[in-house]
């Protein structure tokens, strides 16, 4: 069972062909430009890789907070908005997946999903902005292959859904004070694959590994204020809504259990959070503190209980030429893993990573993390989700643009275990901009065995394709 109720544990890939195929693809596409690639090493170091936004990025704008280019608020006079303006945009996506190793009924064509995203933005005359977006999808594979073949839990969770995502209003209350109120995503930390300090938003884990974390975060209602003092940004927050990660339903391809996952315990309290950060020449620092409902939780009284925990963390980044060195630390107090033990645990998480963009149109990154439970009790090894004292995770990623940034090739491998031997997955995919408002995304994902959780899904490898039109 693949569940975010605890950190999963990973092994060295038994099927490395995918990695070699991805790297061969990238090198083949760039073969004619080898001199250009090598020239990249002689160029002046880039401060930051420039990423061209397309229409789809504009639609998804509200799903993620962009990193600040400078923590010091620009006090220059802002252009006045002459009149209120509103705009409705959207995206239609057709997706399909072919599972070449899974057993029935999740084999062969396992998904045929149609989805619609609508995004509305309204700018007021005083400079404030209101933004909301919603998504609906329907997966026709269930009716085409026969709904009686699937469990009620899977049909309820994966056949269709309509959900409100972002819904917030933001603007400046003063020259050095901004406000953002409503459902939103707030990202702490810098890693694109491993979550250490990025704890404020839950994830949609129902189809793990197929898309990146940035597309999995679920917005949460918050009141956020940014107060600027010289180079520093002080951000107090009130978390107004308690949401938890969505996990694979019982009977689905990523959860073979016949036992339904208990519902989350409902909580209506308001919890505090705070971040303080600044950017300086060549480096930046951020400090975090929050009281949260533990997203993973534990089973109690027929429900998934989420107790309050305290979190303290920090993130540091150092830029040196084409190299970006990053680190994150987080400490949690008040964790519970089981009802059989009333003991509360403390856990410390740490990450170190490096990004390199010295090759033209290419970004290479590697992150490694360790999560350590203090005062570990060996009886936790016998729990349903194999709670380990030390959990290691590694993530290696390569992204490169070709054909004037209309073709984007990517490869990601995420492995668990100190020796990379506790399972994981690898994914290679290509995104092609067919036209200004149309793009296609095709790829393959390979799940790797090595632990109880990943052994159960090791045969779920699949090829996926989606085509999107933005309007």
**Is 294 buried (19+), middle (13-18) or exposed (0-12) by CB count in 10 A?**
buried
160 or 34, which is more confident: 160
Question: Is pLDDT of 387 > 90?
Answer: no
263 half-sphere exposure, CB direction, 13 A CA radius: 3
Question: Is pLDDT of 38 > 60?
Answer: no
252-266, 269-283, 455-469: segment of lowest average pLDDT: 252-266
23-27, 258-262, 327-331, 388-392: segment of lowest average pLDDT: 23-27
Q: Which residues of 96-134 are buried (b: 16+ CB within 10 A; e: fewer)?
A: bbbbeebeebbbeebbbbebebbbebebeeeebbbbbbb
Q: How confident is the model at residue 405 (pLDDT cuts 50, 70, 90)?
A: very high
Q: CA 142 to CA 147: how far, in whole Å?
A: 5
Does a structural domain hold residue 452? yes
Q: What are phi and psi of 291, to 5 degrees?
A: -110, 125
Q: CA 185 to CA 218: how far, in whole Å?
A: 7
Does a structural domain hold residue 164? yes
Q: Is 182 left (phi over 0), alpha (psi -120 to 50) or beta?
A: left
Q: How confident is the model at residue 68 (pLDDT cuts 50, 70, 90)?
A: very low
CATH of residue 291's domain is: 2.40.160
- Contact yes or no for 53/22 (Cβ under 8 A): no
Does a structural domain hold residue 9? no
Question: What is the per-residue DSSP string for 143-188?
Answer: HHH-GGGS-HHHIIIIIEEEEEEEEEEEEEEETTEEEEEEEE----
Pairing mode, strands 108-123 and 85-99: antiparallel
Does a structural domain hold residue 151? yes
pLDDT at position 385? 63
pLDDT at position 82? 58
pLDDT at position 298? 87
Question: Is pLDDT of 421 > 90?
Answer: yes
DSSP state for residue 215 in the 8-state scheme? G
pLDDT at position 341? 66
Question: Is pLDDT of 51 > 50?
Answer: no
The predicted model gives 210-223 an average pLDDT of 94
pLDDT at position 80? 54
Q: What is the pLDDT of residues 94-127, one digit of tens each?
A: 999 999 999 999 999 999 999 999 999 999 999 9
Q: How many CB atoms lie within 10 A of CB 207?
A: 21
Give how far Cα 314 sits from Cα of 88, 179, 346, Å. Answer: 38, 23, 17
Q: CA 116 to CA 94: how far, in whole Å?
A: 9
80 or 444, which is more confident: 444
Q: How many CB atoms lie within 10 A of CB 28?
A: 10
Q: What is the pLDDT of residues 127-186, one digit of tens each?
A: 999 999 999 999 999 999 999 999 999 999 999 999 999 999 999 999 999 999 999 999
Question: Is pLDDT of 49 > 90?
Answer: no
Does a structural domain hold residue 80? no
Q: CA 332 to CA 292: how far, in whole Å?
A: 10
Question: Is pLDDT of 337 > 90?
Answer: no
Question: Is pLDDT of 291 > 70?
Answer: yes
Does a structural domain hold residue 233? yes
pLDDT at position 3? 45
Q: Is the overall model pTM greater than 0.75, yes or no? A: yes
Angle at 6 between CA 386 and CA 199, to 5 degrees: 160
Query: Number of helices and strands (H, E) in the chain?
Result: 6, 20
Question: Is pLDDT of 27 > 50?
Answer: no
What total of structural domains would you count in the chain?
1
Does a structural domain hold residue 7? no
Which residues form the domain of 418? 17-72+87-470
Q: CA 330 to CA 124: how far, in whole Å?
A: 39
Question: Is pLDDT of 67 > 60?
Answer: no
The secondary structure element, H or E, covering residue 28 is helix 17-29
Coil/strand/helix, residue 25:
helix
C-alpha closest to that of 399 among 380, 385, 412: 412
The predicted model gives 240-253 an average pLDDT of 96
- Contact yes or no for 120/88 (Cβ under 8 A): yes
- Contact yes or no for 95/115 (Cβ under 8 A): yes
């Amino acid at each position: 069972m693949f569940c975010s109720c605890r950190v999963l544990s990973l092994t060295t890939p038994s099927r490395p062909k995918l990695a070699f195929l991805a790297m061969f693809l990238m090198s083949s596409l760039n073969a004619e430009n080898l001199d250009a690639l090598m020239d990249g090493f002689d160029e002046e170091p880039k401060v930051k890789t420039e990423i061209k936004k397309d229409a789809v990025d504009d639609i998804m704008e509200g799903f993620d907070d962009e990193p600040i280019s400078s923590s010091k608020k620009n006090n220059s006079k802002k252009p006045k908005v002459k009149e209120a303006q509103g705009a409705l945009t959207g995206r239609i996506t057709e997706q399909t997946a072919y599972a070449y190793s899974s057993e029935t009924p999740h084999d062969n064509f396992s998904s045929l999903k149609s989805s619609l995203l609508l995004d509305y933005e309204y700018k007021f005359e005083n400079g404030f902005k209101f933004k909301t977006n919603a998504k609906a999808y329907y997966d026709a594979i269930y009716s085409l292959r026969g709904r009686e073949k699937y469990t009620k839990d899977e049909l309820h969770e994966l056949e269709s859904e309509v959900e409100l995502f972002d819904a917030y209003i933001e603007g400046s209350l003063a020259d050095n004070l901004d406000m953002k109120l409503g459902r939103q995503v707030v990202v702490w930390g810098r890693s694109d694959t491993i979550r250490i300090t990025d704890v404020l938003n839950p994830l949609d884990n129902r189809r793990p590994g197929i898309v990146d974390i940035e597309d999995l975060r679920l917005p949460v209602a918050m009141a956020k204020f940014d107060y600027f003092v010289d180079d520093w940004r002080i951000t107090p927050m009130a978390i107004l809504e308690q949401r938890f990660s969505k996990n694979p339903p019982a009977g689905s391809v990523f959860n073979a259990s016949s036992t339904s996952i208990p519902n989350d315990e409902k909580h209506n309290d308001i919890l505090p959070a705070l971040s303080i950060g600044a950017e300086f020449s060549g480096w930046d620092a951020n400090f975090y503190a929050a009281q949260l409902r533990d997203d993973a939780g534990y089973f109690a009284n027929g429900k998934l209980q989420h107790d309050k925990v305290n979190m303290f963390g920090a993130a540091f980044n150092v830029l040196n030429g084409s190299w970006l060195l990053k680190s994150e630390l987080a400490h949690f107090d008040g964790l519970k893993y089981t009802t059989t033990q009333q003991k509360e645990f403390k856990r410390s998480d740490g990450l170190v990573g490096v990004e390199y963009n010295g090759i033209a149109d290419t970004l290479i990154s590697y992150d490694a993390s360790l999560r350590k439970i203090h005062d570990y009790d060996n009886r936790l090894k016998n729990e349903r989700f194999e709670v380990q004292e030390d959990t290691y995770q590694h993530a290696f990623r390569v992204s490169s643009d070709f054909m004037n940034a209309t073709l984007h090739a990517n490869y990601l491998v995420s492995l668990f275990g100190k020796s990379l031997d506790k399972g994981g997955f690898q994914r290679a995919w290509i995104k092609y901009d067919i036209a200004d408002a149309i793009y296609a995304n095709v790829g393959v994902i390979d799940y790797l065995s090595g632990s109880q959780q990943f052994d159960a899904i090791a045969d779920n490898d699949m090829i996926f394709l989606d085509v999107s039109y933005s309007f």
